[in-house]
Amino acid sequence: MNGAVMSTYARYPVAFERGEGCRVWDSDGKEYLDFLSGIGVNNLGHCPPKVVEAIRQQAGSLIHTSNLYRIPGQERLAERLTESCFADQAFFCNSGAEANEAAIKLVRKYQRDNGRPGRFEIITTINSFHGRTITTLTASGQEKVQRGFDPLAPGFRYVPFGDIEAVEKAVSSYTAAILVEPIQGEAGVRVPPDGYLEALRRIADHHDLLLVFDEVQTGMGRTGRMWGHQWTKVAPDVMTIAKAIASGLPMGACLASARVAKTLSPGTHGSTFGGNPLCCAAANATLDMLLDDGVLEGAEEKGKRFEAGLRDIMERHKLVKEVRGRGLMLAMVLNAPAEEVAAISLSRGLLLNCTMGTILRFLPPLIVSDEEIERALTILDGVLTDLF
Protein backbone atom coordinates (compact mmCIF):
# COMPACT_ATOMS: atom_id res chain seq x y z
CA MET A 1 0.00 0.00 0.00
CA ASN A 2 1.14 3.53 -0.69
CA GLY A 3 1.30 5.76 2.37
CA ALA A 4 0.91 8.91 0.28
CA VAL A 5 -2.70 8.05 -0.61
CA MET A 6 -5.31 8.67 2.06
CA SER A 7 -6.63 5.32 3.16
CA THR A 8 -10.31 6.00 2.41
CA TYR A 9 -10.54 2.55 0.83
CA ALA A 10 -9.50 -0.86 2.15
CA ARG A 11 -7.84 -1.80 -1.12
CA TYR A 12 -7.02 -5.25 -2.43
CA PRO A 13 -3.28 -5.62 -3.04
CA VAL A 14 -3.62 -5.84 -6.80
CA ALA A 15 -3.20 -3.28 -9.58
CA PHE A 16 -4.60 -3.68 -13.07
CA GLU A 17 -2.67 -2.61 -16.09
CA ARG A 18 -4.84 -3.37 -19.07
CA GLY A 19 -8.44 -4.23 -19.87
CA GLU A 20 -10.43 -5.50 -22.82
CA GLY A 21 -14.09 -6.44 -22.81
CA CYS A 22 -14.92 -8.29 -19.59
CA ARG A 23 -11.28 -9.04 -18.80
CA VAL A 24 -8.49 -7.17 -17.04
CA TRP A 25 -4.84 -8.08 -16.49
CA ASP A 26 -2.76 -7.18 -13.44
CA SER A 27 0.87 -6.07 -13.34
CA ASP A 28 2.00 -9.73 -13.23
CA GLY A 29 0.04 -10.50 -16.38
CA LYS A 30 -2.60 -12.51 -14.54
CA GLU A 31 -6.05 -12.43 -16.14
CA TYR A 32 -9.30 -11.66 -14.31
CA LEU A 33 -12.96 -11.74 -15.28
CA ASP A 34 -14.51 -8.45 -14.25
CA PHE A 35 -18.00 -8.97 -12.79
CA LEU A 36 -18.02 -5.61 -11.02
CA SER A 37 -17.26 -3.18 -13.90
CA GLY A 38 -15.59 -0.62 -11.63
CA ILE A 39 -18.83 -0.59 -9.60
CA GLY A 40 -21.25 -0.27 -12.49
CA VAL A 41 -19.14 2.09 -14.60
CA ASN A 42 -17.69 -0.05 -17.39
CA ASN A 43 -21.07 -1.20 -18.68
CA LEU A 44 -19.59 -1.59 -22.18
CA GLY A 45 -16.61 -3.52 -20.85
CA HIS A 46 -13.05 -2.24 -20.74
CA CYS A 47 -11.77 0.03 -23.48
CA PRO A 48 -14.84 -0.21 -25.76
CA PRO A 49 -13.35 0.59 -29.21
CA LYS A 50 -15.78 3.34 -30.25
CA VAL A 51 -15.38 5.13 -26.92
CA VAL A 52 -11.59 4.85 -27.03
CA GLU A 53 -11.57 6.26 -30.56
CA ALA A 54 -13.94 9.11 -29.65
CA ILE A 55 -11.77 10.07 -26.65
CA ARG A 56 -8.62 9.94 -28.80
CA GLN A 57 -10.12 12.16 -31.48
CA GLN A 58 -11.65 14.66 -29.08
CA ALA A 59 -8.50 14.87 -26.96
CA GLY A 60 -6.57 15.78 -30.09
CA SER A 61 -8.89 18.63 -31.04
CA LEU A 62 -10.36 20.14 -27.85
CA ILE A 63 -10.43 18.83 -24.28
CA HIS A 64 -12.05 21.61 -22.32
CA THR A 65 -13.59 24.99 -22.90
CA SER A 66 -16.05 26.26 -20.34
CA ASN A 67 -19.78 26.31 -19.85
CA LEU A 68 -19.52 30.03 -20.61
CA TYR A 69 -19.62 28.87 -24.24
CA ARG A 70 -21.78 26.49 -26.22
CA ILE A 71 -20.57 22.90 -26.30
CA PRO A 72 -22.07 21.06 -29.31
CA GLY A 73 -21.28 17.60 -27.92
CA GLN A 74 -23.04 18.49 -24.68
CA GLU A 75 -26.11 19.73 -26.55
CA ARG A 76 -26.24 16.52 -28.56
CA LEU A 77 -25.79 14.40 -25.44
CA ALA A 78 -28.57 16.28 -23.63
CA GLU A 79 -30.90 15.70 -26.59
CA ARG A 80 -30.15 11.98 -26.69
CA LEU A 81 -30.49 11.49 -22.93
CA THR A 82 -33.76 13.40 -22.74
CA GLU A 83 -35.12 11.47 -25.74
CA SER A 84 -34.47 8.25 -23.83
CA CYS A 85 -36.80 9.18 -20.94
CA PHE A 86 -39.38 11.58 -19.50
CA ALA A 87 -36.93 14.49 -19.20
CA ASP A 88 -36.69 17.66 -21.29
CA GLN A 89 -33.42 19.13 -20.03
CA ALA A 90 -30.14 18.02 -18.53
CA PHE A 91 -27.48 19.61 -16.32
CA PHE A 92 -24.00 18.06 -16.48
CA CYS A 93 -21.56 17.60 -13.63
CA ASN A 94 -18.83 15.11 -12.72
CA SER A 95 -20.20 12.47 -10.36
CA GLY A 96 -23.25 10.87 -8.83
CA ALA A 97 -22.98 12.92 -5.65
CA GLU A 98 -22.89 16.12 -7.69
CA ALA A 99 -25.88 15.00 -9.73
CA ASN A 100 -27.80 14.51 -6.49
CA GLU A 101 -26.59 17.86 -5.16
CA ALA A 102 -28.06 19.44 -8.30
CA ALA A 103 -31.33 17.57 -7.76
CA ILE A 104 -31.52 18.67 -4.12
CA LYS A 105 -30.92 22.31 -5.04
CA LEU A 106 -33.44 21.99 -7.85
CA VAL A 107 -36.31 20.62 -5.74
CA ARG A 108 -35.79 23.16 -2.94
CA LYS A 109 -35.76 26.11 -5.31
CA TYR A 110 -38.64 24.69 -7.33
CA GLN A 111 -40.86 24.69 -4.26
CA ARG A 112 -39.82 28.27 -3.42
CA ASP A 113 -40.36 29.46 -7.00
CA ASN A 114 -43.82 27.94 -6.86
CA GLY A 115 -44.95 29.75 -3.73
CA ARG A 116 -44.15 27.03 -1.19
CA PRO A 117 -41.04 28.41 0.53
CA GLY A 118 -41.49 26.35 3.68
CA ARG A 119 -41.02 23.10 1.80
CA PHE A 120 -37.41 22.02 1.92
CA GLU A 121 -37.50 18.54 3.40
CA ILE A 122 -36.65 15.52 1.26
CA ILE A 123 -37.84 12.04 2.15
CA THR A 124 -35.19 9.40 1.44
CA THR A 125 -34.95 5.73 2.39
CA ILE A 126 -33.04 3.77 4.99
CA ASN A 127 -29.90 2.11 3.57
CA SER A 128 -30.01 4.33 0.49
CA PHE A 129 -26.80 5.70 -0.98
CA HIS A 130 -26.66 9.08 -2.70
CA GLY A 131 -23.04 10.19 -2.35
CA ARG A 132 -20.30 11.40 -0.01
CA THR A 133 -20.68 15.17 0.10
CA ILE A 134 -22.12 16.48 3.37
CA THR A 135 -25.57 16.94 1.84
CA THR A 136 -25.67 13.69 -0.10
CA LEU A 137 -24.29 11.65 2.79
CA THR A 138 -27.06 13.17 4.86
CA ALA A 139 -29.51 12.11 2.15
CA SER A 140 -28.09 8.60 2.38
CA GLY A 141 -30.01 6.72 5.05
CA GLN A 142 -26.96 4.97 6.49
CA GLU A 143 -25.35 5.74 9.82
CA LYS A 144 -22.03 4.33 8.64
CA VAL A 145 -21.51 6.99 5.95
CA GLN A 146 -22.62 9.79 8.29
CA ARG A 147 -20.73 8.92 11.47
CA GLY A 148 -18.19 11.55 12.50
CA PHE A 149 -19.28 14.21 10.05
CA ASP A 150 -21.90 16.13 11.95
CA PRO A 151 -23.36 18.65 11.87
CA LEU A 152 -25.18 17.02 8.97
CA ALA A 153 -27.28 18.98 6.50
CA PRO A 154 -30.78 19.74 7.71
CA GLY A 155 -33.82 18.78 5.68
CA PHE A 156 -33.87 15.01 5.31
CA ARG A 157 -36.23 12.42 6.66
CA TYR A 158 -35.83 8.65 6.33
CA VAL A 159 -38.35 5.89 5.78
CA PRO A 160 -37.88 2.14 5.26
CA PHE A 161 -37.35 1.28 1.56
CA GLY A 162 -40.40 -0.29 -0.04
CA ASP A 163 -42.80 0.91 2.66
CA ILE A 164 -45.54 3.12 1.20
CA GLU A 165 -47.36 3.74 4.45
CA ALA A 166 -44.17 5.09 6.01
CA VAL A 167 -43.85 7.61 3.16
CA GLU A 168 -47.45 8.73 3.62
CA LYS A 169 -46.82 9.25 7.32
CA ALA A 170 -43.58 11.13 6.72
CA VAL A 171 -45.12 13.73 4.38
CA SER A 172 -45.69 17.05 6.10
CA SER A 173 -46.09 20.72 5.23
CA TYR A 174 -42.26 20.82 5.05
CA THR A 175 -41.89 18.10 2.43
CA ALA A 176 -40.45 19.14 -0.94
CA ALA A 177 -39.62 15.84 -2.59
CA ILE A 178 -39.15 12.09 -2.38
CA LEU A 179 -35.73 10.77 -3.46
CA VAL A 180 -35.23 7.03 -4.07
CA GLU A 181 -33.14 4.58 -6.04
CA PRO A 182 -35.46 2.41 -8.21
CA ILE A 183 -33.38 -0.51 -6.91
CA GLN A 184 -31.11 0.14 -3.93
CA GLY A 185 -27.54 -0.59 -5.01
CA GLU A 186 -25.07 -0.16 -2.15
CA ALA A 187 -27.69 -1.60 0.19
CA GLY A 188 -27.16 -4.93 -1.59
CA VAL A 189 -29.40 -4.77 -4.67
CA ARG A 190 -32.75 -4.44 -2.96
CA VAL A 191 -35.69 -4.52 -5.37
CA PRO A 192 -38.81 -2.79 -4.00
CA PRO A 193 -42.20 -4.51 -4.02
CA ASP A 194 -44.28 -4.20 -7.22
CA GLY A 195 -46.25 -0.98 -7.27
CA TYR A 196 -43.82 0.93 -5.06
CA LEU A 197 -42.69 3.53 -7.61
CA GLU A 198 -46.31 3.94 -8.78
CA ALA A 199 -47.43 4.61 -5.20
CA LEU A 200 -44.64 7.15 -4.70
CA ARG A 201 -45.82 8.92 -7.85
CA ARG A 202 -49.38 9.10 -6.51
CA ILE A 203 -48.22 10.46 -3.15
CA ALA A 204 -46.00 13.05 -4.84
CA ASP A 205 -48.83 14.21 -7.10
CA HIS A 206 -51.33 14.35 -4.26
CA HIS A 207 -49.08 16.61 -2.14
CA ASP A 208 -47.35 18.63 -4.90
CA LEU A 209 -44.01 16.98 -4.15
CA LEU A 210 -41.35 16.25 -6.71
CA LEU A 211 -40.36 12.66 -7.33
CA VAL A 212 -36.61 12.15 -7.83
CA PHE A 213 -35.07 8.87 -8.97
CA ASP A 214 -31.38 8.30 -8.31
CA GLU A 215 -30.45 6.16 -11.32
CA VAL A 216 -26.70 6.54 -10.82
CA GLN A 217 -26.33 2.76 -10.50
CA THR A 218 -29.54 1.44 -12.09
CA GLY A 219 -29.18 3.56 -15.23
CA MET A 220 -27.45 3.08 -18.59
CA GLY A 221 -28.90 -0.36 -19.23
CA ARG A 222 -27.78 -1.94 -15.98
CA THR A 223 -31.17 -3.53 -15.23
CA GLY A 224 -31.86 -4.52 -18.84
CA ARG A 225 -33.80 -1.35 -19.63
CA MET A 226 -32.15 1.99 -20.35
CA TRP A 227 -33.35 3.34 -16.99
CA GLY A 228 -34.33 1.23 -13.99
CA HIS A 229 -37.69 2.94 -13.59
CA GLN A 230 -38.61 2.01 -17.15
CA TRP A 231 -39.66 -1.41 -15.88
CA THR A 232 -42.71 0.55 -14.72
CA LYS A 233 -44.90 3.16 -16.39
CA VAL A 234 -43.92 5.73 -13.79
CA ALA A 235 -41.93 8.83 -14.70
CA PRO A 236 -40.16 10.92 -12.08
CA ASP A 237 -39.82 14.72 -12.24
CA VAL A 238 -36.07 14.58 -11.78
CA MET A 239 -33.51 11.84 -12.44
CA THR A 240 -29.84 11.71 -11.52
CA ILE A 241 -27.32 9.64 -13.43
CA ALA A 242 -23.55 9.11 -13.45
CA LYS A 243 -21.39 5.96 -13.20
CA ALA A 244 -21.67 4.34 -16.66
CA ILE A 245 -22.64 7.44 -18.63
CA ALA A 246 -19.16 8.15 -20.06
CA SER A 247 -17.66 4.64 -19.73
CA GLY A 248 -15.19 5.71 -17.06
CA LEU A 249 -14.57 9.39 -17.72
CA PRO A 250 -16.05 11.32 -14.81
CA MET A 251 -19.53 12.55 -15.59
CA GLY A 252 -22.86 12.96 -13.86
CA ALA A 253 -26.12 14.57 -14.89
CA CYS A 254 -29.36 15.78 -13.41
CA LEU A 255 -32.30 15.46 -15.80
CA ALA A 256 -35.70 17.04 -15.31
CA SER A 257 -38.98 17.82 -16.98
CA ALA A 258 -39.20 21.33 -18.49
CA ARG A 259 -41.61 22.55 -15.80
CA VAL A 260 -39.10 21.72 -13.08
CA ALA A 261 -35.83 22.34 -14.94
CA LYS A 262 -36.59 25.99 -15.62
CA THR A 263 -36.09 26.74 -11.93
CA LEU A 264 -32.31 26.51 -12.42
CA SER A 265 -31.84 29.82 -14.26
CA PRO A 266 -28.45 31.35 -15.19
CA GLY A 267 -26.24 31.80 -12.16
CA THR A 268 -28.12 29.42 -9.86
CA HIS A 269 -25.91 26.39 -10.45
CA GLY A 270 -22.80 25.43 -12.34
CA SER A 271 -19.71 23.31 -12.80
CA THR A 272 -16.28 24.06 -14.23
CA PHE A 273 -15.73 20.64 -15.80
CA GLY A 274 -19.34 19.46 -16.10
CA GLY A 275 -20.19 18.31 -19.62
CA ASN A 276 -16.85 19.32 -21.13
CA PRO A 277 -16.06 18.31 -24.72
CA LEU A 278 -13.93 15.30 -23.78
CA CYS A 279 -16.41 13.70 -21.37
CA CYS A 280 -19.30 14.41 -23.75
CA ALA A 281 -17.46 12.73 -26.61
CA ALA A 282 -17.02 9.64 -24.42
CA ALA A 283 -20.68 9.75 -23.37
CA ASN A 284 -21.97 10.16 -26.92
CA ALA A 285 -19.87 7.21 -28.06
CA THR A 286 -21.18 5.24 -25.07
CA LEU A 287 -24.75 5.91 -26.22
CA ASP A 288 -23.80 4.92 -29.78
CA MET A 289 -22.75 1.49 -28.55
CA LEU A 290 -25.47 1.07 -25.95
CA LEU A 291 -28.42 2.17 -28.07
CA ASP A 292 -27.39 1.88 -31.73
CA ASP A 293 -25.13 -1.19 -31.61
CA GLY A 294 -27.59 -3.30 -29.65
CA VAL A 295 -25.68 -3.69 -26.36
CA LEU A 296 -28.76 -2.73 -24.36
CA GLU A 297 -30.92 -5.25 -26.22
CA GLY A 298 -28.87 -8.20 -25.03
CA ALA A 299 -28.63 -7.17 -21.39
CA GLU A 300 -31.97 -8.48 -20.15
CA GLU A 301 -31.38 -11.94 -21.64
CA LYS A 302 -27.84 -12.13 -20.26
CA GLY A 303 -29.14 -11.10 -16.85
CA LYS A 304 -31.70 -13.92 -16.94
CA ARG A 305 -29.04 -16.45 -17.81
CA PHE A 306 -26.69 -15.27 -15.06
CA GLU A 307 -29.49 -15.11 -12.50
CA ALA A 308 -30.56 -18.67 -13.36
CA GLY A 309 -26.97 -19.80 -12.78
CA LEU A 310 -26.84 -18.03 -9.43
CA ARG A 311 -30.12 -19.70 -8.43
CA ASP A 312 -28.67 -23.02 -9.42
CA ILE A 313 -25.72 -22.36 -7.07
CA MET A 314 -28.19 -21.38 -4.34
CA GLU A 315 -29.86 -24.81 -4.63
CA ARG A 316 -26.56 -26.51 -3.93
CA HIS A 317 -25.21 -24.26 -1.17
CA LYS A 318 -27.23 -23.99 2.01
CA LEU A 319 -25.54 -20.79 3.09
CA VAL A 320 -26.95 -18.89 0.12
CA LYS A 321 -30.11 -17.31 1.41
CA GLU A 322 -31.36 -15.36 -1.57
CA VAL A 323 -30.59 -14.34 -5.14
CA ARG A 324 -32.11 -11.05 -6.22
CA GLY A 325 -31.88 -8.18 -8.66
CA ARG A 326 -32.83 -7.28 -12.19
CA GLY A 327 -31.00 -7.47 -15.49
CA LEU A 328 -27.27 -7.47 -14.81
CA MET A 329 -27.62 -5.88 -11.37
CA LEU A 330 -27.67 -8.99 -9.20
CA ALA A 331 -26.81 -10.06 -5.69
CA MET A 332 -26.45 -13.20 -3.64
CA VAL A 333 -27.30 -12.90 0.04
CA LEU A 334 -25.31 -15.26 2.26
CA ASN A 335 -25.91 -16.57 5.75
CA ALA A 336 -22.22 -15.89 6.35
CA PRO A 337 -19.66 -13.13 5.86
CA ALA A 338 -19.17 -12.47 2.15
CA GLU A 339 -15.89 -10.53 2.27
CA GLU A 340 -13.76 -13.67 2.19
CA VAL A 341 -15.73 -15.00 -0.77
CA ALA A 342 -14.90 -11.80 -2.65
CA ALA A 343 -11.22 -11.98 -1.65
CA ILE A 344 -10.81 -15.63 -2.69
CA SER A 345 -12.74 -15.05 -5.92
CA LEU A 346 -10.25 -12.29 -6.70
CA SER A 347 -7.32 -14.64 -6.16
CA ARG A 348 -9.00 -17.10 -8.55
CA GLY A 349 -9.49 -14.44 -11.21
CA LEU A 350 -13.02 -13.16 -10.65
CA LEU A 351 -13.84 -9.61 -9.58
CA LEU A 352 -17.01 -9.12 -7.59
CA ASN A 353 -17.97 -7.08 -4.57
CA CYS A 354 -19.18 -7.58 -1.01
CA THR A 355 -21.70 -5.08 0.38
CA MET A 356 -23.41 -4.92 3.74
CA GLY A 357 -21.14 -7.64 5.10
CA THR A 358 -23.02 -10.67 3.83
CA ILE A 359 -24.04 -9.76 0.30
CA LEU A 360 -22.17 -10.50 -2.93
CA ARG A 361 -22.93 -8.00 -5.65
CA PHE A 362 -22.50 -8.65 -9.37
CA LEU A 363 -22.42 -5.84 -11.96
CA PRO A 364 -20.79 -7.45 -15.02
CA PRO A 365 -20.37 -5.49 -18.27
CA LEU A 366 -23.54 -5.66 -20.37
CA ILE A 367 -21.48 -7.21 -23.18
CA VAL A 368 -20.66 -10.29 -21.07
CA SER A 369 -20.75 -13.51 -23.10
CA ASP A 370 -22.53 -16.75 -22.18
CA GLU A 371 -19.15 -18.40 -21.87
CA GLU A 372 -17.92 -15.71 -19.46
CA ILE A 373 -21.07 -16.10 -17.38
CA GLU A 374 -20.42 -19.85 -17.16
CA ARG A 375 -16.80 -19.27 -16.19
CA ALA A 376 -17.75 -16.80 -13.42
CA LEU A 377 -20.37 -19.21 -12.07
CA THR A 378 -17.84 -22.05 -12.00
CA ILE A 379 -15.31 -19.95 -10.06
CA LEU A 380 -17.96 -18.77 -7.59
CA ASP A 381 -19.30 -22.28 -7.11
CA GLY A 382 -15.78 -23.51 -6.38
CA VAL A 383 -15.08 -20.74 -3.87
CA LEU A 384 -18.32 -21.43 -1.98
CA THR A 385 -17.59 -25.17 -1.99
CA ASP A 386 -14.07 -24.71 -0.62
CA LEU A 387 -14.99 -22.06 1.96
CA PHE A 388 -18.10 -23.56 3.51
Ligand X SMILES: *Cc1c(COP(=O)(O)O)cnc(C)c1O
Could you list the residues that contact ligand X (CB under 6 A)? 95-97, 129-131, 181, 185-186, 214, 216-217, 242-243
Count the residues in the chain.
388
Minimum distance of ligand X from residue 215's CB (angstroms)? 8
DSSP label at residue 183: S
Q: For residues 200 and 125, is the Cβ–Cβ distance under 8 A?
A: no
| Closer to ligand X by Cβ: residue 220 or 383 | 220
Active site includes 28? no
Active site includes 129? yes
Active site includes 243? yes
Q: Exactly one of 35, 92, 120, 129 is catalytic; which is it?
A: 129
State the Cα–Cα distance between residues 374 and 353, nearest whole angstrom. Answer: 18
Minimum distance of ligand X from residue 312's CB (angstroms)? 28
| Closer to ligand X by Cβ: residue 41 or 54 | 41
Query: Using CB atoms, what's the residue nearest to ligand X?
Result: 96
Q: Exactly one of 109, 214, 237, 362 is catalytic; which is it?
A: 214
Element (H, E) at 239: strand 238-241
**CB count in 10 Å sphere of residue 108:** 20
331 φ, ψ (degrees, to nearest 5): -145, 155
Minimum distance of ligand X from residue 130's CB (angstroms)? 5
State the Cα–Cα distance between residues 174 and 120, nearest whole angstrom. Answer: 6
| Closer to ligand X by Cβ: residue 145 or 383 | 145
Q: Exactly one of 109, 243, 302, 362 is catalytic; which is it?
A: 243
Q: What b/e string do you get for 192-230 counting C-beta neighbours within 10 Å, with b at 16 or more?
A: beeebbebbbebbeeeebbbbbbbbbbbbbbbbbbbbbb
| Closer to ligand X by Cβ: residue 226 or 377 | 226
Phi-psi region of 189 (alpha: psi -120 to 50; beta: other; left: phi over 0): left
| Closer to ligand X by Cβ: residue 23 or 125 | 125
Minimum distance of ligand X from residue 140's CB (angstroms)? 8
Minimum distance of ligand X from residue 180's CB (angstroms)? 10
Concatenating the DSSP letter of every residue in 244-306 gives: GGGBTB--EEEEE-HHHHTTS-TTS---SSTT-HHHHHHHHHHHIIIIISSHHHHHHHHHHHH
Which residues participate in catalysis according to the annotation? Answer: 129, 214, 243
